């Protein structure tokens, strides 16, 4: 994931004083995008990775603090082995490329999920990105790999119980996302209207935005439209406006 350090002026009517601090995206529709073009599913995942690069650069330049992407779920292991290998190889490729740009542009990257199940080579790259990220502050990209919201909650509850009393605060401290603010906005492209086991605990008061656009076609303009929609909403968090 290579991020540009160029500053761009946002177009449209985005209010820079009311930006969501944390945006999360479910990168859905890669396979359908490829099928529409008579391409192998792997081509769709490659195109989706490029989309994440563009969207992350846009969010960083706009002033968003966190961008979290659902890259590979615990359920995705059920897909054909060739597709799973392709996704993991693609992640390996972009991690190799991202390390140089992370150090150059002071980008932080964090992986959420059970990384112990990943190939050793990939785990080594993840450890390297963790090491680089620890040096910097500013924009952070979070990549959910081998991630499932229910598994995360069960794991956190067990760890909290082992450490003492299970409270909201103790449980949150043992989530993979510990230390990261809850997402203000979750975006689901591709026309599906569900969270698919993504950030279930963290999304209690998150604004949801759905679009029919397939993820590889989702660019800065679509992100801008999602932010504009978010800024038109009245977030009450259970209180009276």
| Residues annotated as part of the active site | 28, 76
Q: Which residues contact 204 (CB under 8 A, 6 or more apart)?
A: 182
- Residue 179, number of CB atoms within 10 A of its CB: 8
Contact 109, 98 (CB under 8 A): yes
Residue 5 in tokens = 């350090």
Distance, in Å, from the CA atom of 210 to the CA atom of 187, rounded to the nearest integer, reads 6
Q: Is 7 exposed, middle or buried (0-12, 13-18, 19+ CB in 10 A)?
A: exposed
Contact 224, 12 (CB under 8 A): yes
């Amino acid at each position: 994931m290579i991020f540009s350090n160029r500053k761009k002026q946002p177009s449209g009517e985005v209010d820079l004083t009311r930006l969501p601090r944390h945006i999360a995206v479910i990168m859905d529709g890669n396979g359908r995008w490829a099928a529409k073009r008579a391409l192998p599913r792997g081509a769709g995942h490659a195109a989706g990775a490029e989309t994440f690069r563009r969207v992350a650069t846009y969010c960083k330049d706009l002033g968003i603090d966190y961008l979290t992407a659902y890259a590979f779920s615990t359920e995705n292991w059920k897909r054909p082995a060739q597709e799973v290998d392709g996704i993991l190889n693609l992640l390996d490729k972009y991690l190799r490329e991202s390390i140089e740009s992370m150090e150059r542009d002071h980008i932080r990257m964090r992986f959420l999920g059970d990384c112990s199940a990943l190939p050793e080579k990939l785990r080594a790259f993840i450890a390297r990105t963790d090491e680089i990220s620890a040096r910097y502050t500013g924009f952070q990209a979070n990549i959910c790999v081998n991630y499932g919201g229910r598994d995360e909650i069960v794991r956190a509850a067990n760890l909290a119980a082992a450490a003492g009393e299970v409270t909201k605060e103790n449980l949150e401290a043992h989530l993979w996302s510990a230390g990261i603010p809850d997402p203000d906005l979750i975006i689901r492209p591709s026309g599906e209207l569900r969270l698919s086991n993504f950030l279930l605990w963290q999304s209690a008061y998150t604004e949801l935005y759905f679009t029919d656009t397939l993820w590889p076609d989702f660019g800065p303009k679509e992100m801008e439209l999602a932010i504009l929609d978010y800024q038109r909403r009245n977030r009450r968090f259970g209180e009276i406006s």
